[in-house]
Structure 1
Amino acid sequence: MRQHVELLSDSYIVAANKPDEIELRFRIDSGLHINSHAPKDELLLPTAVKLESLHVLNVAYPAGKPFKLNVGKGELLDVYEGEFRVRVKLAAPKGTTPVSGVLRYQACDTASCFPPRTLPLRFVVTGQ
């Protein structure tokens, strides 16, 4: 199945054994958008990051951008387009830790939406 979003980084260096922050950088295919983490309509799927293998303290999403639909009543959505970054505050042990997780999202163009997708996330965090 084709993904419409990609993770742009595969490794991070953080301070070991104390809270630190990484930025997960994502790119959305040209001509598409995905709902932000806080869409304006409760029926829309919010974008969400879930990580395993590390103690995650906080996930901070960027503000979405307004996007006016060209169909229906021209509703205003809250979306991500192009590149966006999600800040993750975490605590990592000393050494290298493989991290896995997912980005749950729904990609749309100006007229319709694709089924919701789950992008597997795999990267390495090195605590120094």
Structure 2
Amino acid sequence: MTKPYTGGCACGAIRYSVVGEPMFSNHCQCRDCQRESGTGHGSYATFPRAGVTVTGKAKTWDMTGDSGNVKTRAFCPECGVAVYMTFKAMPDIFTIRAASLDEPTRYKPQAVTYAVRAYDWDPLDSGLTKFERMPPG
């Protein structure tokens, strides 16, 4: 068994531990992720919710994605760092921000989503599979 993925916000008020390997890891270039990250993409690893433990109280805000589904973004109310996302339509998954990992080098992106919204000034690994929007389920 591999060691858990651990991480949290910058000040340590929110911490998580995840048992198991990511189901999917991606760079997302949708406009919502661009705005939240302050750059051209967000980087995420998605896990089964069953293996996740979170300590600390996150502040959350809901937004509706292109699919019409609500995603809840969670951030630290103390330092403001975005840490994770959950999805009302998929309550069994938990998505962490790759940069929130204690060991960010464990993050291995598999694909780029919403490549249709890419900017020339934010080039990503050309070897990654690119999807114009979200990949088929």
Both proteins in one fold, TM over 0.5: no
Q: Which has the higher contact order (CA 8 A, sep 6+)?
A: 1
Using the size of structure 2 for normalisation, the TM-score is: 0.24
Q: In proportion to residue count, which structure has more helix? A: 2
**What's the TM-score, normalizing by structure 1?**
0.25
Larger Rg: 1
